[in-house]
Amino acid sequence: MQLEKLIEKLPEQAKDMKTNVMSVLTEEGAPDLTKKQIYQIAVASAYTLRDKALIAAILADARDVLSPAEMDAAKVAATIMAMNNIYYRFVHISSEQAFASLPAKLRMTAVSTVTGDKIGFELSCIAVSAINACGKCLDAHTQAITKAGASHLAIQSAVRIASVLNAVVIGLTIAENN
C-alpha cells in the first residue's frame, strides 16, 4: 500500500496516526462501512485536505478498490461540497437572517447524476463537510443518509476517517518542517 509507505514519514509526535490511519481504513476499524465506502470517503477527504502526497497515496490504493464511477463520485463529493460548505456555512453563521431565505442559485446537478452507491457518496459529503466545518451541510446530509438507512455508526466512521487523514497531513507537515 502506498499509504503505508507515506505514513512511515510521520514523526514521533504523530505516531498514533500510524496506527489510527491503518485502522480506520479497514472494515473492522470503520464499523458499518464497506471497503468501497471507506475508500470513497478517503479519496474525497484527501482531495479536500489538499496534500499532494496524501492524495497520490490514497488514489494509488483506491484504484484497486473503486470503479471509475465510484472514484468520480468521491471527486464530485469533494468539489461540490467545497462550494456548498462555504456558501451554507456563510448562510448559517451570518447574523443577517435575510440570507437564509435567498435562493442559493448555485448549480449542483452533479449531485443528482452520481451513479453507484448513494450512501457512499453521502458519507463522502459528510466527511468533507466535517473537514470544512459546515454544520448546515452536516445536518442536511446526516438527515438524508439516515433516512436512506445508514447508521449513526457509519456516519461516525466516515468522520473518523476524515479526522485521522487530517491529522496525517499535520504530521507530514511537521515532518517536512523539522
How large is the average pLDDT for residues 29-41?
98
Catalytic entry in 123, 137, 138, 150: 137
CB 14 within 8 A of CB 166: no
Look up the CATH number of domain 2-176.
1.20.1290.10
Of 42, 38, 17, the residue nearest 128 (C-alpha): 42
pLDDT at 112: 79
Q: Round to whole Å and give the CA distance between 101 and 13.
A: 46
CB 134 within 8 A of CB 85: yes
* C-alpha distances out from residue 67 to 37, 64, 73, 116, Å: 12, 8, 10, 9
- Give the tens place of pLDDT for each residue, 160-174: 999 999 999 999 999
Verify whether residue 134 is a known catalytic residue: yes
Catalytic entry in 76, 134, 164, 168: 134
Instruction: Show Cβ contacts of residue 31 under 8 Å, excluding neighbours closer than 6 positions.
Output: 153, 154, 157
- Give the tens place of pLDDT for each residue, 140-161: 999 999 999 999 999 999 999 9
Residue 116 binned pLDDT confidence (cut-offs 50, 70, 90): confident
pTM: predicted TM-score of the whole model, two decimal places: 0.95
Of 115, 117, 129, the residue nearest 158 (C-alpha): 129
Verify whether residue 125 is a known catalytic residue: no
